[in-house]
Amino acid sequence: MTATMRRSGTEAPAAWRPPQPSSAVPLLEVRNITASAPDGSRILDDVSFTVEKGWLVAVAGPTGAGKTSLVRTLVGSLALDSGVIRLNGTDLTSGNQALQRRVGYVPQDNLLHHQLGLRRTLEYAASLRLPGTTSASQRSTRVLAVLDELGLERQGGLAVGSLSGGQRKRANLAVELLAEPEVLVLDEPTSGLDPGHERSVMTTLREIADRGRTVLAVTHSMGALALCDRVIFLAAGGQVAFVGTPEEATAYFALSDVAEVFVALNSHLGPSWKERWRALPALAQPTRQLPEGPAATLASLCRPSPTYEGPDPVPAVPGWSAQLFTLTQRYLDLIRSDRRHVAMLALQGPLLGLLLWAVLSPHGLSPVPQVSKLDVVPGRTVSVAAFLAISVTWLGTASAVREIVKEHSILRREKGAGLSLNAYVSSKMMVLGTIIAVQAVAFTAISCIRQGPPAHGAVLGWGLGELMVTTALVGLCAVALGLLLSALVSTPDKAMTVLPVALVAQLILSGAWGSLTRVPGITQLSDLTGAHWGLKAIEATVAGNAGAWWSAMVTLACLTAGTTVIAAFFVQRQLHPEWALACRRTAALAGLITRRRALLAPLVAVSMIVLLTGAAVAGLHLSGPGRKFDYVSSRPVHYGPSGRLR
């Protein structure tokens, strides 16, 4: 056996015959695709194969051979460096989302919300994936049919988190079957399952293929290969080592057991296997492969079932407003399903209000009779206003900072199925914004009991009501900031790391307890913080300055809308394959600069000069004649040559 395995890479065993070409157009055609990892290393190297309708195809190979990367290219979540993927002769890599929805994808991880019931989860998925013209009764009928098809009808009322491993695998598969895709792609569907559940899942996939759908599954299970029509073996570096039936694989590799193929692929360099496979005469021009022998008999029995009518035109998914309604309902259901979380959301505003009520000196918001201008508001008013604005900012930002990043995997798959990311971000903003606004109102009402707010506001007839409106809008702006931070990071842990930096920046730039320098950029940064404009609006209410109040409120509204739009933009970019490719190129450029010390040293020197110059200018500005700081009003005071206050 060892001698056979070491034979020349351009020589195939005599017992194996290469498949014969056919002129027919295959269902799925992968032609010469290559892809790279973020560090620039090649993870797929000139991969080519074809798949027929009704086949169950296994993608196998040793760890690190690029199996998951191949799956990601098929579903459009990994950008290609070169090559083409065609479905029914049409390019899948052209950005046609309607065509991409013909490919269902079940990743290795569970992509369902654990808190929701299985049937409810499928109903939400049907509302997002089935055409908008589908009625509620038709969606329910489709959900029940899929549950019955996968043997999950008895588990429909159970929460997803309470299902067994094999049932969760089938539940994820059920979500994809709702829209009746032509091709199903699964990444390690038997991972973590015992032999019994593993056999059950693979038998289910075999039955789905027998009904006329094409199934590709990444697997390490040797028992699973016996149920497959074809197996694609990948070697190290993402190179095709073999495409054929499991029986042909043992003959091609001259091994008595398919399990030994993994050992052989691990013990040989990838290029030798690639060259050996590509050197076969029948593969000089890659074409469709037809089954032979027992596999041909099995494939001939694969006929479409009455419920699957083949590649009809892809129906349009529901519109933006319909998806927004569904996503809002689902988000509310998710919140309600966790009673402890609901209790925390309901109590955090009142508890913070009680804390401020207990520690702040009374009458901090009482108007001064002679005060009619915003720039002479007493320091005690500034302090109370700062506590109100910053506390609500913390409340909103902390509540939203994990809400997008924790659902990245779910969001990535739903985007491939036609989800509007703008509707997704809008639903988060609507639900969380409403919750935080209510919390801000309760917080303000409790914390201001002893502060003596003015009876009449700057604009509204009720001073306390005007303060509530102000803090509610500050809360909305904080929620938008939290969603933006959540869209910028890649893990929930990173989101919690960024949160303190953002909150401290809001505190510093609010301008409550110290004057800000006039170094270019600092004032502009301050104008981009919700806490700063919340402070301004509260001061305007106390001073009765209607113009300043309207200016602050309009700015807060614009900041909220603009931050939400930017968050939606970054969600789009995070989930777009081309964005990942751009990030990879940027990282490569940064690595090049770091490695080239000749380029790095001048950059560091220029940066240090700029920082030192800025610090010197700021020091001269702050120590200039006629500039002092009034710690009573917490504002800079300017004196003229005669010593009079300007």
* Neighbour-count burial for 67-87, b at 16+ CB within 10 Å, e otherwise: bbbbbbbbbbbbbbeebebbb
Q: What is the reported pLDDT for 603?
A: 56
Question: Lowest-pLDDT range, 28-42, 187-201, 233-247?
Answer: 187-201
**Residue 260 in this model has a pLDDT that exceeds 60:** yes
What span, in angstroms and rounded, lies between the C-alpha atoms of 427 and 496?
Answer: 22
pLDDT band at 611 (very low <50, low <70, confident <90, very high): low
Q: What's the token pair of residue 121? A: 């989860």
- CA 132 distance to own-chain centroid: 24
Strand partners, 84: 31
What span, in angstroms and rounded, lies between the C-alpha atoms of 329 and 338?
Answer: 15
Q: What is the DSSP letter of 85?
A: E
What span, in angstroms and rounded, lies between the C-alpha atoms of 429 and 480?
Answer: 7
Q: What is the reported pLDDT for 516?
A: 60
Amino acid at 583: C
Q: Are strands 82-87 and 28-36 parallel, antiparallel or unpaired?
A: antiparallel
What span, in angstroms and rounded, lies between the C-alpha atoms of 392 and 439?
Answer: 9
Q: What is the DSSP letter of 93?
A: G
Residue found under tokens 């006329």: 212
Would you call 340 helix, strand, or coil by DSSP?
Answer: helix
More confidently predicted of 37 and 124: 124
pLDDT band at 102 (very low <50, low <70, confident <90, very high): confident
Q: What is the reported pLDDT for 370?
A: 54
What span, in angstroms and rounded, lies between the C-alpha atoms of 57 and 215?
Answer: 6
Amino acid at 516: L
**Are the C-beta atoms of 29 and 47 separated by less than 8 Å?**
no
pLDDT-above-70 percentage for the chain: 75
pLDDT (tens digit per residue) in 324-338: 999 999 999 999 988
What span, in angstroms and rounded, lies between the C-alpha atoms of 68 and 43?
Answer: 10
What span, in angstroms and rounded, lies between the C-alpha atoms of 378 and 303?
Answer: 82
Q: How far is residue 60 from each of residues 67, 73, 152, 434, measured CA to CA in Å?
A: 7, 16, 28, 49
Q: What is the reported pLDDT for 600?
A: 52
What span, in angstroms and rounded, lies between the C-alpha atoms of 14 and 252?
Answer: 8
Q: What is the DSSP letter of 116?
A: S
Length of the chain: 646
pLDDT band at 633 (very low <50, low <70, confident <90, very high): very low
pLDDT (tens digit per residue) in 335-350: 998 888 888 888 888 9
Residue found under tokens 């700057």: 458
pLDDT (tens digit per residue) in 147-163: 988 888 898 889 998 88
Q: What's the token pair of residue 72? A: 């990601």
Q: What is the reported pLDDT for 609?
A: 59
**Are the C-beta atoms of 464 and 362 separated by less than 8 Å?**
no
Strand partners, 34: 82
For 445, half-sphere exposure in the C-beta direction (CA atoms, 13 angstrom radius) is 12
pLDDT (tens digit per residue) in 538-548: 988 988 889 99
- CA 35 distance to own-chain centroid: 21
Cα four-point dihedral sign 560, 398, 117, 98: positive
Those residues whose C-beta lies under 8 Å from the C-beta of residue 526, and which sit 6 or more positions away, are 509, 510, 511, 516, 532
* Neighbour-count burial for 183-212, b at 16+ CB within 10 Å, e otherwise: bbbbbbbbeebeeebbbbbbebbbbbbbeb
Question: Lowest-pLDDT range, 478-487, 563-572, 573-582?
Answer: 573-582
Q: What's the token pair of residue 441? A: 């109102």
What span, in angstroms and rounded, lies between the C-alpha atoms of 434 and 453?
Answer: 24
Q: What is the mean pLDDT of residues 106-112?
A: 84
Q: What is the reported pLDDT for 452?
A: 83
Strand partners, 57: 216, 230
pLDDT (tens digit per residue) in 512-554: 766 665 666 677 788 889 999 999 999 889 888 899 999 999 9
More confidently predicted of 494 and 276: 494
Please write down the HEC assignment for all residues of 404-432.
Answer: CHHHHHHHHHHHHCCCCHHHHHHHHHHHH
